[in-house]
Chains A and B, each alone.
Chain A
């Protein structure tokens, strides 16, 4: 009778290496995850398809509040601005705006999204090296904070304000040596070689330009909190120097983003979950450096942060299914999954934590995880230890909220749906799965190639 049969697990044999503790027979490394905010993974896949991105509004909200608290506990004037490029699904952006975040955008497209999401123009920070004259004009009109990236942008902006007689609220992006190598010196104006100060001098000579802030974004997934201390101290000194030389009070310092999430960088020996600095460590480094730098208490600048991945990575999951188990030429096991680097773009950077959805026995196997693309680059994990999974089994990829739902590629197959689980544990589709028609809608066939 079927009911008396033993539960099946794919037969596995593995050689034990002398001197190396075998992974076999040890307790499961990663616990299984069968449920996200009260929704079973199986039910979500059944309803919305596989693969599927899932965002937890609960986790997102908690992470945001924790980050905000980390800074407001240490500094009197703090404002977070949601970095649109990290995840610009409108539903996601609106959650951040309701929590109080401004918008930080780096293109006309993102700028329009922010306006459409109800953000006041004066609460949009416009960053990036690629702003067009028309986009700048709109930003001037809306009194947005324009962060000048290069001299050519300054000249365009100067011409616009002088032509229209309307003033612009501006800041410059500053790059500097804060001990990060390679140094990010391609964005903004360099501090050490005097470029930043020269640009400030030029801005101060234009009546229609109001220098309100200073901006930097020293890198991404920066593991050294010390670098933030250095950056905050240098930015503060620059603000004080501006005060002294031009009698201009800098209203805000925008320290950008770059804080690490809980992911594990590829090739890192330590697990990100345990090793990466907490948001409190970053907050401590930045806030204490500003407080120590010599501002009058009534002239402390507003501290703006544009943290992206640290705010959203943890609330994102990618659910997927095993298409096949196969054996490689050297005897290693491999799984083919129904999502690849086209969907999980961050597989290029991280050794993502991946869980099974069912409780398995103690048996674990070293294996490679591949995506379904017929391309050699399509590797989700080069090495992972998992139970002996088989076709049809489900997996959960953790910490996928940042950059995947913006940098994913429409390549070979369609991009999956995205579901938001609200704070009452109800799932909502916030982006539809693409179809062939989605892609074909953008294509045109010249007359000579149509039939009949």
Chain B
């Protein structure tokens, strides 16, 4: 999964999609997923990386990252 090229992501978690004019906000763990996607990481690498950085369990992380990636699709922020 990739984030669309033209989407601007600020360090504070503010996102802007110039194609639609929509803005979004995301929290720190969400922003980290965005950054890793931008770096071209796949889902399993993202999960490993987040598990190292955040204090939580693997199942929780897996479920929440799946949900988050679904929301990125839902908001049409991704490209194949």
Contact = CB atoms under 8 A, between A and B. Distances in A.
A7 B55 contact: yes
B45 interface: no
B26 A11 contact: yes
A98 interface: no
Interface residues of A, number: 24
A325 B29 CA distance: 16
Nearest to B25: A24
Given A8-B54, A8-B55, A331-B71, A15 B22 contact: yes
Nearest to A388: B27
A16 interface: yes
A5 B60 CA distance: 16
Interface in A285-343: 325, 327, 331
Interface string B37-74: 00000000000000011111000110111011011101
Interface in A50-101: none
Contact of A391 (B53, B60, B70): B60
A127 B74 CA distance: 57
Interface in B15-37: 15, 22-30, 32-33
Contacts of B52: 5
Given A10-B64, A327-B71, A16 B23 contact: yes
Contact of B71 (A7, A13, A25, A325): A13
Q: Is the interface of A mostly helix, strand, loop or mixed?
A: loop
B68 A13 contact: yes
B12 to A, nearest CB: 9
Contacts of B29: 8-11
Interface string A12-29: 111110000010110000
B37 to A, nearest CB: 12
B65 to A, nearest CB: 7
Nearest to A24: B25
Q: Chain B CB within 10 Å — which of A7, A13, A22, A363 has the most?
A: A13
A363 B26 CA distance: 9
Contact of A12 (B26, B54, B61): B26
Nearest to B22: A15
A6 B30 contact: no
B24 to A, nearest CB: 5
A325 B59 CA distance: 13
A278 interface: no
Contacts of B54: 5-8
Nearest to B61: A8
A237 interface: no
Given A5-B55, A6-B54, A6-B55, A11 B68 contact: yes
Contacts of B70: 327
Contacts of A24: 25
A390 interface: yes
Contact of A11 (B23, B33, B74): B33
A8 B56 contact: yes
A221 B38 CA distance: 55
B75 A13 contact: yes
A331 B76 CA distance: 12
A25 B25 contact: yes
Contacts of B75: 13, 15, 331
A130 interface: no
Nearest to B29: A11
A16 B25 contact: yes
A260 B27 CA distance: 39
A38 interface: no
Contacts of A15: 22-24, 75
A331 B72 CA distance: 10
B30 A12 contact: yes
A179 interface: no
13 contacts: A8-B60, A9-B28, A10-B29, A11-B29, A13-B24, A13-B25, A13-B72, A13-B75, A14-B25, A15-B75, A22-B25, A325-B67, A361-B28
Interface of B: 15, 22-30, 32-33, 52-56, 60-61, 63-65, 67-68, 70-72, 74-75
Given A327-B67, A331-B75, 4 more contacts: A7-B54, A10-B29, A325-B67, A388-B27
Pairs of residues from A and B, 7 with the lowest C-beta to C-beta distance, nearest first: A11-B30, A8-B56, A5-B55, A8-B54, A11-B68, A11-B29, A13-B26
